[in-house]
Structures are given as structure tokens and as C-alpha cells.
Amino acid sequence: MNYLDKAAKSIAESIRFDSSHQKKARGAPFGKGAAECLSHFLSLAEKLGFSTKNYDGYVGEVLFGEGEEFAVLCHLDVVPAGSGWDMPPFGGVIEGGKIWGRGAMDDKGPAICALYAMKQLLDEGFVPKRKIKLIVGCNEEDGWACIEHYKKVAHMPEDGFSPDADFPVIYAEKGILHVRLHFPIKKAPFTRLQGGTSANMVCDLCEAIPRIRDEKKAAALGLTFEKRKLVSRGKSAHGSTPEKGENAILPILQYFAECEVVRHIIECLFDDAYGLKTLSDETGGLTLSPDLVKYRKGEVQVVADIRYPATMSAERVHEKLRMFGIRYETLHHQEPLLVDKDDELVTTLLKVYEKCTGKSMGPVAIGGGTYARALAHGVAFGPEKEGDEAVIHQPNEYITLERVKLLLEIYREAIRELTK
């Protein structure tokens, strides 16, 4: 059976649902698009011969086998499309050996590949000695309420992996801290300031209405005036890898840098005057991405995405933040993930990766956060490889058909080895 063609078609179908966080509706806690995407996934799984459960539109699961539970944790929600697309972000177009659209790599493509990997095993007559739970959430990008709900109404396995990061295998994930910082400002040099679409996505569009219009200064900073609005366009990227994007907030702030408060914002969040980015360990250095900004009620509010080293405590970060001298609040926090490099789960997945690719590599650490943290004993495993073009949380996201073919093989072997 040609699993590749079927998987590619299913990925394209899934992409066509705009499953970004939207207004809550009945039976759709994260919006109609996410609920419909979840229903599509579970209906597909049933057609492939699996039993499924839908937990109130928050999260679903696909079941295979009996015994001690083993989890494969994926998500169907996506970040907003953002700007700069050449392909329709929710078109699910298959062209040039690629499937295009938001979620292709993060995480609809890998989720559907994991489902078809289970289908391959089912068709081959494989009988797992563990109950495999393919769990698909709808709120991974914006708070993890799906996982919280699942833990209330179902049983989360102890062990498993999440196909939502990098190969060969992720043994450590940095801590995640989203904070909203409040910078009081009197006599602001603008009447409007707004930018960004998601707390974990580098801002690619920022706008302001200045009190004084300076065309020459704007041009020097690469800004444009569109009627009354001063506009900055950047490049989106995942908040854990801000260096892969171009933050549109900074040029706007530089335009207003004659204002002392604005200079303080730049010093704190872009110049790193208080040394947040000096925090580092074997899992990497701290990253800081100011992703949302708005001016309201006499203050500039900035939401920053901070990823701190896995062996450090969040208090080390808070010590630095308090040095800013302004009020701030924690919006979201996830403790780091750290699994021993010699753990059997890690070594087994490394062997699977080597078998399928011919490459012998060691485990790695990342700044991204995956559902692996929801498990007592979990790691992240693919789908990205070293040297891939960065497409996650960026315009023109895609997954190649070649990668889909590889994921079908890798996830089949991984599930077999871990549940036999």
C-alpha cells in the first residue's frame, strides 16, 4: 500500500483547517477551526481501523494495543499565519515536491505521519505489548489547556515521545517563560503602537502613529509611512530561535529613541543591558524574544518569550528581570525537560534514527518546548533535521514529500521498538 500518497493527502486536508487559537464556541474551546481539525484527525484514524476518543474538543486520542501505556504526543493547533506568504497559508497545496501551509511541519505533518506509521504496523500484523496512545492536543501553541484537560479526564502515560522538534533525539528542552513587562510612559511620542500576533512568534509587523512625522528618519531605519501609520516589516520565526527572524518592533522603537522610556525598553530587551543572555549551560544560552508590543493607558506593554537553560532555575531569570526596575507579570511558565543522555528511551531512538538514515549522532538540546514535558519520562523526536531550512512559525511553511516518506519509516520503527 502506498502510505506516502495517502499521508500526503491527509496532511494537505488537515492544513486546510485554520486551527489557530480563535474565539471559544460550544464544543470548541479553542475555536471552530481547531475543533474541526481534531474531528478530521479522529475520523481519519477511525477509517484506518483505530478506536478514538474526543475529550470535549480539547484533545483527542487514537488507541492501538493493550498493556502498559505508551504515548505519542502531537498537536493540531497552529500559530497565526502572519504575513509574507507566497502560498495560501491554509491551502494545503502540494507542489514542487512539498506540502505547503501552516502546520505542515509544526505539527500536523508529523502527527499524521505518526498515525500512518501506526497504520503500517497494524497492516503488518504487529501486536504491540503496550497500549499506544497517539494523543493530539489543540492548545500547544497557546497555553497547554488541552493537556491540563486531558490529565483531568483521562490517564497520561508515563513514557513516550513527541514528534515536534528535531532529530536525532532531544534529551533537554530549555525552560519557557512568557512575561508581560509594563513600561510607564508620560507624554509618549506616539498615539498608537502595536505589533506581533503571538507570544512565541517573532514579530513581523509593527505599526505606530507618531506625534511628529520624520520621513528622513523613517527611511534611514527601513520604515515606511502608510497614510498616518509608521510601518515596520520584519520576518517571523519561532520565539525559541529569534535569531532566525527579523523583529519588526526594534526599528519602530529606534524611531522614537529620543524618548528616555523607549531607550530603556531597547536597552532591556534588545541591547541586553542587564545580562539575561549571559545565562548559559551545556543545553545552550538564554534566548529573549520580545514578540508582542502595545501602547495603552499610559504604558508600553511588551510580551517577551524567554527560553532559559535546562539546568537553571527560573529564579535566576527573575533576578535579572527585577533589575529592569519595572513591573512585570508571568503569563506562562514551563519547567525545563532534562533526560539522561544514556537513558534507554534516548539510546533506542538514536539507534532507530541511525538505522533509518545511516547517521550516527548524539542527542541534542533545544530551546523549543514540546509535549514531552507532559510526560514523567519523555523526549522529543523529529521531524526537523540538521541543515533544514527554518520554516516553523515562518511564512511559506512546508514539509517535503521526501521528509514525509522518512517520517513514516522512522516513526514506524520507533513505535515498534518501544512497544514490542
Quick: pLDDT tens for 248-262: 999 999 999 999 999
Q: Compute the average pLDDT of residues 272-294.
A: 96
Tell me the three state secondary structure of residue 380.
Answer: strand
Contact predicate 286/307, CB 8 Å: yes
Q: Which of 18, 61, 69, 77 is catalytic?
A: 77
Q: Check whether 162 has a pLDDT greater than 90.
A: yes
Superfamily (CATH) of domain 3-172+339-419: Zn peptidases (3.40.630.10)
**Which three cell numbers, joined as nine digits, stand for 181?**
513587562
Q: Which of 106, 140, 141, 173 is catalytic?
A: 140
Is 140 catalytic? The answer is yes
For CATH 3.30.70.360, list the domain ranges present in the chain.
Answer: 175-334
H-assigned helices in 287-359: 314-322, 344-357
Does the pLDDT of residue 314 top 80, yes or no? yes
Q: Work out the average pLDDT over 36-48.
A: 98
Task: Provide CB contacts within 8 A for 2, sequence distance 6+.
Answer: none
Q: What percent of the chain has pLDDT over 70?
A: 100
Range of weakest confidence among 61-70, 133-142, 250-259, 365-374: 365-374
* Overall average pLDDT of the 147-174 stretch: 97
As a whole number of angstroms, the distance between CA 162 and CA 384 comes to: 12
Mean of the per-residue pLDDT values for the chain? 96
* Cβ partners under 8 Å of residue 12, min gap 6: 92, 93, 94, 99, 101
Number of H helices, E strands in the chain: 10, 24
For the domain made up of 175-334, give the CATH fold.
Answer: Alpha-Beta Plaits (3.30.70)
Count of Cβ atoms closer than 10 Å to residue 226 Cβ: 8
Q: Helix 401-419 crosses helix 3-15 at what angle (to 10 degrees)?
A: 110
Average pLDDT, stretch 109-124? 98
Contact 174, 277 (CB under 8 A): no
Where, residue-wise, is CATH 3.40.630.10 in the chain?
3-172+339-419
Close Cβ partners of 32 (under 8 Å, ≥ 6 residues apart): 22, 25
Query: What is the phi/psi pair of residue 121, to 5°?
Result: -65, -40
How far apart are alpha carbons 293 and 299 in whole angstroms? 11
Q: Is it the case that residue 397 has pLDDT exceeding 80? A: yes
- Give the 3-state secondary structure of residue 344: helix
- State mean pLDDT over 200-222: 96
**Are the CB atoms for 25 and 36 separated by under 8 Å?**
no
**What is the predicted pLDDT for the residue at 52?**
98
**Res 1 pLDDT > 80:** no
Question: Is the backbone of residue 269 left (phi > 0), alpha (psi -120 to 50) or beta?
Answer: alpha
* 0.95 exceeded by pTM: no
